[in-house]
Amino acid sequence: MTALTIVATLAVLALVTQAGVYLLEQKYPAQGWFVDVAGGRLHVIEFGPRDAAGPPIVLVHGATSNLGAMRVPLGDQLAKTHRVILIDRPGHGWSTRDDLENSSPAIQAGMIDEALGQLGIEHAIVVVHSLAGGLGALLALDYPKRVSGLVMLAGVAYPWPGGVGTYNRIVTTPVIGPLLAYTITLPLGLLLSEPGTRAVFLPQAMPEGYVQQTAIPLVLRPREFLANAWDLITLKAAITEQAPRYGDIKVPTLVITGDSDSTVSPEIHSRRFAATVPGAKLIVLPNVGHMVQNAAPDLICTEIDRMVAAADTRPKAAAR
Q: Tell whether 320 is covered by a domain.
A: no
Q: Tell whether 133 is covered by a domain.
A: yes
CA distance 24 to 38: 27
- Predicted confidence (pLDDT) per residue in 221-233, tens digit: 999 999 999 999 9
Q: Tell whether 119 is covered by a domain.
A: yes
Q: How many domains does the chain have?
A: 1
CATH code, 11: 3.40.50.1820
pLDDT bin (cut points 50, 70, 90) of residue 2 is confident
Q: Tell whether 183 is covered by a domain.
A: yes
Tell me what pLDDT residue 319 has: 40
The mean per-residue pLDDT over the stretch 22-42 comes to 97
| The residue type at 39 | G
**DSSP class per residue in 223-274:** HHHHHHHHHHHHHHHHHHHHGGGGGG--S-EEEEEETT-SSS-IIIIIHHHH
| Model pTM score | 0.95
Q: Tell whether 9 is covered by a domain.
A: yes
Handedness of CA 77, 78, 79, 80 (dihedral sign): positive
CA distance 225 to 238: 20
Q: Tell whether 45 is covered by a domain.
A: yes
- Which domain covers residue 241, as residue numbers? 3-315
Residue 318 pLDDT > 70: no
Q: Name, in order, each residue with C-beta under 8 angstroms of 21's C-beta and a sequence gap of 6 or more.
A: 186, 221, 222
Residue 314 pLDDT > 60: no
Q: Tell whether 174 is covered by a domain.
A: yes
Beta strands in 90-173 (DSSP E): 96-97, 124-129, 147-153
Q: Tell whether 71 is covered by a domain.
A: yes
- Predicted confidence (pLDDT) per residue in 232-282, tens digit: 999 999 999 999 999 999 999 999 999 999 999 999 999 999 999 999 999
